[in-house]
């Protein structure tokens, strides 16, 4: 369903989105609602079940879905927009597959190919807004027409969930485009002018405040995956950090840390996993709830947006397609010094390695390297040792494979239906996790000048990283082993602590930022971090200077410039915004 139209917004958008929710409901809650129950009509919608179905449809838009269409530009993880455009990852695969991403990676964002992907992301974000607003309207209609149909507690939670989801989808658009139109449930026409980035951010925060006031402390009905008050508070802290509102962020993020229900997983392997007993663990704040084998014939209820991001073949995975390959720059960044601290802090030549870092080359590295990157000779969870035959086109995409989104063989998390079903899995896609929140809190502490609080948080993250490393992976018990296990012959893992007080705000800022990179790499966060820190231009141009000699196709990349602060608004959306021939949407500067 298009999110922009020359025609006014129709009130019965809910009819369409409820159909989507019935077909593709999120797992872990309201699973029965994911099964077709009969014909939908106006009377069906004007019930509690109709409202609940509309809300499920709003959740469903967190990842790619048939209702929006398009391709990988609408993946929940933002791997195209947050990783491939950063120094974390290459597009991968081969040049002829998904060529629009070639232009995205090369910062050639004004081409027709790049626009096709940008439009997918725009449509996906605003489809989420549409479905959230439709839920709010339908809830109001039902509670007015049928008092008692929905309890006051349920009505408040439904409203809070819809407001939160609207805030999330609007935030997704804001991170991409900055100056965006903001839609409320009372809007009757999509042809709306941009708000400024500051105005849009204020509206997102207003929605989160309203959601916090409405949501229960625990997820409604105990149904895992629903947002609750703590999710909204944590997310508000995230938005405040993005907006540079550090004093306000500090207050709410400290509250979440001290009083909230979240904690770091005991070891890193439990964060990204297909094992059912570990999903939605204590580190999960907000995640896309992927599922498999629920009756959808093409496996589209899985983490579909990641389905390309598996090793290409030549392994027991027998998968496709080798996209989202880790960069040489990222692999080099995991090197550490004798104390187990990032080598990049003290060695200006940390990025000098141009060759494949295989198991045959033993250098001190952070163990998170091998939870994030598949590299030759190193066990790949429990799928065997990664090999060069797993790579589709090494000269193009490099020698490494993505790893976080791939399930463990022993988990049984792969789909049994769909195209190459083994790469369709039920690994939940973290949209915001507790380690991310802690590092944002550390940022806020640094900006407040409380450097020792930031050091404590970073050391907490590093202590968890030092617990386990990739093991031989002969069974579930050996996927993760102690960092000093004698069976590890492919790396010298080290994770040190910052043992001396931090006294320089500039140094502390750098250390927190480095920790974000090694902890959150390949999770679709890096590009947006570089942008909000104001260092994207310097960082990415330095990255390109080195990578052009490694991945020759990047010689055609455009220099990263001021205009790349925001992505260009898709031209088709500007055209669709016209009223009497005048464009209401205005393009971002430089495009």
* pLDDT tens for each residue of 100-119: 999 999 999 999 999 999 99
Classify residue 569 by its DSSP letter.
P
User: Mean of the pLDDT values across residues 144-166?
Assistant: 97
Is the per-residue pLDDT at 16 higher than 70? no
- 3-state SS assignment for residue 481: strand
Q: Nearest CA to 413 among 521, 317, 519?
A: 317
Distances (CA, A) of 462 to 264, 468, 570: 11, 11, 41
pTM of the complete model = 0.93
295 vs 88, more confident: 88
pLDDT digits (tens, 9 = 90+) for 475-530: 999 999 999 999 999 999 999 999 999 999 999 999 999 999 999 999 999 999 99
Beta bridge partners of 463: none
Torsion of CA 351, 353, 359, 361, to 10 degrees: -110
Work out the mean pLDDT of the chain and round it to a whole number: 92
pLDDT at res. 13: 36
Distance CA 324, CA 91 (A): 5
Distances (CA, A) of 496 to 269, 430, 435, 436, 515: 19, 26, 17, 20, 12
Which domains does the chain carry?
Answer: 325-403+435-545 (1.25.40.900)
pLDDT digits (tens, 9 = 90+) for 424-462: 999 999 999 999 999 999 999 999 999 999 999 999 999
Beta bridge partners of 117: none
């Amino acid at each position: 369903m298009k999110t922009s139209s020359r025609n006014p917004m129709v009130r019965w958008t809910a009819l369409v989105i409820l159909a989507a929710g019935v077909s593709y409901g999120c797992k872990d809650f309201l699973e029965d609602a994911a099964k077709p129950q009969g014909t939908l009509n106006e009377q069906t919608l004007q019930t509690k079940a109709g409202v609940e179905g509309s809300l499920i449809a709003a959740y469903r838009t967190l990842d790619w879905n048939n209702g929006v269409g398009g391709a990988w530009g609408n993946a929940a993880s933002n791997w195209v927009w947050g990783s491939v455009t950063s120094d974390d990852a290459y597009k991968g695969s081969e040049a002829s597959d998904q060529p629009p991403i070639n232009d995205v990676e090369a910062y050639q964002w004004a081409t027709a190919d790049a626009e096709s992907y940008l439009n997918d992301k725009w449509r996906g974000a605003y489809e989420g807004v549409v479905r959230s607003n439709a839920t709010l309207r339908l809830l109001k209609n039902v509670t007015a027409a049928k008092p008692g149909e929905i309890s006051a507690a349920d009505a408040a939670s439904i409203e809070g969930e819809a407001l939160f989801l609207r805030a999330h989808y609007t935030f997704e658009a804001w991170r991409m485009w900055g100056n965006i139109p903001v839609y409320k449930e009372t809007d009757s026409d999509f042809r709306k002018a941009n708000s400024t980035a500051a105005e849009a951010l204020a509206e997102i925060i207003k929605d989160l405040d309203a959601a916090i006031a409405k949501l229960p402390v625990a997820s409604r009905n105990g149904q895992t995956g629903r947002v609750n008050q703590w999710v909204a508070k944590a997310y508000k802290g995230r938005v405040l950090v993005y907006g540079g509102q550090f004093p306000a962020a500090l207050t709410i993020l400290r509250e979440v840390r001290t009083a909230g229900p979240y904690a770091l997983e005991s070891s890193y392997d439990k964060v990204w996993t297909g094992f059912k007993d570990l999903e939605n663990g204590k580190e999960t704040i907000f995640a896309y709830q992927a599922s498999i084998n629920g009756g959808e014939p093409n496996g589209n209820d899985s983490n579909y947006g990641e389905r390309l991001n598996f090793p290409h073949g030549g392994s027991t995975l027998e998968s496709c397609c080798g996209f989202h390959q880790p960069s040489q720059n990222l692999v080099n960044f995991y090197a550490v010094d004798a104390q187990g601290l990032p080598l990049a802090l003290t060695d200006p030549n940390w990025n000098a390695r141009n060759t494949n870092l295989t198991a045959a080359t033993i250098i001190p590295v952070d163990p998170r390297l091998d939870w994030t990157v598949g590299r030759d000779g190193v066990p790949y969870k429990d799928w065997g040792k990664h090999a060069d035959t797993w790579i589709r086109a090494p000269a193009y995409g490099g020698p490494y494979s993505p790893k976080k989104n791939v399930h463990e063989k022993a988990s049984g998390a792969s789909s049994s239906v769909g195209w190459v079903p083994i790469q369709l899995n039920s690994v939940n896609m973290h949209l915001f996790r507790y380690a991310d929140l802690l590092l944002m809190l550390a940022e806020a502490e640094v900006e407040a000048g409380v450097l020792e609080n930031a050091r404590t948080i970073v050391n907490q993250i590093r202590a968890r990283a030092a617990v386990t490393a990739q093991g031989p992976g002969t069974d579930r018990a050996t996927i993760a082993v102690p960092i000093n296990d004698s069976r590890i012959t492919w790396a010298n893992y080290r994770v040190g602590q910052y043992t001396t007080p931090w006294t320089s705000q500039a140094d502390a800022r750098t250390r927190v930022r480095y920790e974000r990179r090694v902890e959150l790499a390949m999770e679709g966060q890096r590009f947006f971090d570089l942008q909000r820190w104001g260092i994207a231009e310097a960082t990415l141009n330095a990255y390109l200077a080195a990578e052009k000699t490694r991945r020759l196709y990047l010689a055609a990349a455009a220099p990263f410039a001021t205009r790349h602060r925001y992505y260009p608004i898709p031209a088709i959306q500007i055209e669709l915004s016209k009223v009497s021939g005048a464009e209401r949407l205005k393009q971002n500067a430089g495009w």
